Structure 1
């Protein structure tokens, strides 16, 4: 008979008890003037938010016809650029973005780079 310790040891040994690593995505980041987003809430330029590509938004597991109910809405994301990072919340979709591109609020973009750059190459993960 397996005791609790033995079972937990076995699970940890085979990696079952460990969380899967977050998928790292790479793409371009730009910034936009937020307003009423696809998730149904209104945000401003000073909010720490992000719009994901429309293809990512629409193919997110559990997405349906009502974008306000998309499970990606409200997800936390960490964006990385040249040794800096910023945490943002998904609130919108970006029709003009490539599959792994993102559109940040001006405040979030400024946490990573000067807005004069306009477009930067980033990596990002959903938390």
Structure 2
């Protein structure tokens, strides 16, 4: 009876390659960019707060809130996914923001159900 031997280094190498390919094929949900940008001062009230993610979040578990620093969240419509690019989430700002500091608080749900959260601030300064 012939005994087969297994090259453990080859098996480990294949397992590592599979893990790398799997990770590359399904990156974790993360925020890539925003408008306004973190700590940016804009010269006019933005009509939207826009978030670009690394993958399309599940909108049922995704929310974006806008609040003046030290204030209550503003009453705005729910954020929506961009119709042509579901990795882009848009919060329409239906009222003109007064000069001051604002906080964006967001929560996004990945396809696998995991949620991530974050926040950033920006300022509006229309004085020239």
TM bin, normalised by shorter chain, reads under 0.3
Larger Rg: 2
Higher relative contact order (CA 8 A, sep 6+): 1
Q: TM-score, normalised by structure 2?
A: 0.26
Q: TM-score, normalised by structure 1?
A: 0.26
Select the structure that is richer in strand: 2
